[in-house]
Structure 1
Amino acid sequence: MCGMSQQHPVRSTPSRPARPDASMSLLTNVMEYSLDEGYAEAAARRSAQGRSGTPRALRARLWLAAGLVLTALVVTVGAAQARYEAPTEARERQGLIDRIEKGGQDADDLQRSVDDLRGEVAAMQREALRKHGGDRSELVALLAGAVPVEGPGIELVVDDAEDTGAGEGGGPRQSTGFADTGRVRDRDLQRVVNGLWESGAEAISVNGQRLTALSAIRAAGDAILVDNKPLVPPYTLLAVGDGERLSAAFQNSGDGRYLDALQDNYDIRTGISVKDRVRLPAAPGLTVRTAEPVKTGENSTS
């Protein structure tokens, strides 16, 4: 038997049938993948970030909650502290008010005691003047300012100028060293008071302050002190005496003309009027001094 080459049968592999739309690959790709690759990648990134950001958002919410809790705690503690401190402040304030009121009452009591003592001293002084003054005891008490006095007299008002700026000209104050202003000075008031005494006044008061032979008129800055009591303008002087005669004598005196010069040069306002009756209080305090007559012959030489 002659050899014959044995051939294996050829196996046919079934092939995939071709798609009918194989020639339309671009349209097919568009229809099957409608989302562009760039957009798909962006969507995938956002999805990944969303999944990974979930813990971050949770942490933010936790921090926010913690902040709210802390704020509520601070507010609560502050309110509690305010409620605790409010009664303490109220008690301290009430205690301060009570101390002020008590101090005012004590001052009023002391002032009443001072007034009572002054009254007793004045009564003792009047009694001493009555005993030792003889027939002139009332005159001595009047001149000493120990008793109130009432009678006819004059009222003299001296007030600062409306404009207290610098005056013009030399004027009567040129040699006094004062600034040329329209303000009444202590020396002005001294001259007016001395002029009233010289013109025949029996008793004088300035703004209700009774003057005596020991009264002092001084200055403290721009204020005028009468027996250490500060006075404010206008200065009202009441003088007991024969009104018409006292007014004329004062206006014709050198001190009256000095007052007119103040009015002309510095616009200081003045006014004088005769009164049928004026009343002057007693001096608030008196300094009692005694004197003994000098005996003749003790110091003489032979």
Structure 2
Amino acid sequence: MSQQPPQRSTPSRPPRPDASMSLLNNVMDHSLDDGYAEATRRRGMEGRSKLPRTVRAKLGLAGGLVLAALVVTVGAAQARIAAPTVAKEKQELIERIEDGGRHADQLQENVDKLRSSVEAKQRKALEKHGGRRARDTALLSGAVPVKGPGVKLMVDDAKETESSDSGGPRESTGFSDTGRIRDRDLQRVVNGLWESGAEAVAINEQRLTARSAIRAAGDAILVDNKPLVPPYTLLAVGPGQKLSKTFQDSADGQYLYVLHKDYGARTSISVQDEVRLPAAPSLIVRTAKPAQTGEGSTS
């Protein structure tokens, strides 16, 4: 019985150098997840287009597109039709506003003319009746312009207030300890001029009367409800040199000096050979009696 030669085993392959890196190899060889691969394969079978494949679905999509186009077209047509109407209404409104403004300006002009006419007649009546007494009354009431020797007094805010951080001397409410001129300051100055012998006084070319009011509205100073802007120029008719000295020696003149010395308010006073003051802007007659004529009339 013959014996077969022994089987020699073939030498095994040497192990791969990266055998110990099987997890990393798997990630590298299968970078795409199975789920993504399945989705990609399914999409390739169905096609990339997401359009409906059935006739009914296609008809529904077409109907929706037609409806959307119709809505957009109708909206654009309505907007185009309404645009001229809106523009016309806007133009009509603008014209009404402009007409109203012109009418208001015309009415105001008529009021000013009537007021001037009434004031002129009042002044003529004062000049015509009463003789010297009427002239004095017209002068003291501010019914007529006046000129003559007098003084010119300049009063202004302190220079530091012009460059304040608040944006200007008229934009701060807390000015009690600053060099800003207030309404009560002008009141004292004007009263001091009257007491010192002034016969007529004006501030910034606005004539003052016995009924004039100097008030504050916010940061503005009003004289008879008209705002004034610094510097304030006060003109007073009277015996120039005497009026200047009397005012500066008075309590109100000393008050103005304190404003200049302690708070930096800018002031100056000068004697003028002639100053001209306009008539008061309005003359209000509270009481009046008709002039009597004939026998028994009084002058």
TM-score, normalised to structure 1's length?
A: 0.64
Partner residue in 2 for 1:17:
none
Q: Please give the alpha-carbon distance, in whole angstroms, between the structure 2 residues aligned to 1:201 and 1:51.
A: 103
Partner residue in 1 for 2:262:
265
Partner residue in 2 for 1:207:
204
1:143 pairs, out of 136, 140, 144, with 140
Between the two proteins, the alignment pairs up a number of residues equal to: 240
Look up the equivalent residue of 1:149 and give its one-letter code: V
1:272-302 alpha-carbon deviations (Å, 9 max, x no partner) = 344454332211222324599xxxxxxxxxx
1:232-289 alpha-carbon deviations (Å, 9 max, x no partner) = 4332222223444433332232212211211222222323344454332211222324
CA contact (8 A) 1:223 1:231 kept: yes
CA contact (8 A) 1:165 1:182 kept: no
CA contact (8 A) 1:201 1:240 kept: yes
Determine whether 1:239 maps to 2:228.
Answer: no
Determine whether 1:220 maps to 2:217.
Answer: yes
Once the two structures are TM-superposed, the CA of residue 145 in structure 1 deviates from its matched residue by 0.4
Look up the equivalent residue of 1:144 and give its one-letter code: S
Q: Which has the larger radius of gyration?
A: 1
CA contact (8 A) 1:164 1:181 kept: no
1:115 pairs, out of 109, 112, 137, with 112
Q: How does 1:1-302 map to 2 (within 5 A)?
A: 48-50=45-47, 55-56=52-53, 72-162=69-159, 163=161, 179-289=176-286
Look up the equivalent residue of 1:143 and give its one-letter code: L
Using a 3 Å threshold, how does the CA distance of structure 1 residues 139 and 266 change in structure 2: closer, same or farther? same
Partner residue in 2 for 1:36:
none
1:77-108 alpha-carbon deviations (Å, 9 max, x no partner) = 44333323322332232223222222222222
CA contact (8 A) 2:52 2:58 kept: no
Q: Please give the alpha-carbon distance, in whole angstroms, between the structure 1 residues aligned to 2:90 and 2:43.
A: 66
Query: Which sections of structure 2, spanning at least 5 residues, go unmatched?
Result: 1-40, 165-174, 290-299
Q: Please give the alpha-carbon distance, in whole angstroms, between the structure 2 residues aligned to 1:160 and 1:231.
A: 13
CA contact (8 A) 1:164 1:183 kept: no
Point out the more displaced range, 253-262 or 113-122. Answer: 113-122
Q: Please give the alpha-carbon distance, in whole angstroms, between the structure 1 residues aligned to 2:236 and 2:191.
A: 12
Query: Which sections of structure 1, spanning at least 5 residues, go unmatched?
Result: 1-43, 167-177, 293-302
Using the aligned pairs only, state the percent identity: 68
User: Residue 73 of structure 2 aligns to a residue in which SS?
Assistant: helix
Once the two structures are TM-superposed, the CA of residue 68 in structure 1 deviates from its matched residue by 6.3
CA contact (8 A) 1:210 1:281 kept: yes
TM-score, normalised to structure 2's length?
A: 0.64
Q: Please give the alpha-carbon distance, in whole angstroms, between the structure 1 residues aligned to 2:201 and 2:235.
A: 6
CA contact (8 A) 2:200 2:208 kept: yes
CA RMSD of aligned residues (A): 3.9
Q: Please give the alpha-carbon distance, in whole angstroms, between the structure 1 residues aligned to 2:147 and 2:70.
A: 79
User: Residue 213 of structure 1 aligns to a residue in which SS?
Assistant: coil
User: Residue 279 of structure 2 aligns to a residue in which SS?
Assistant: coil
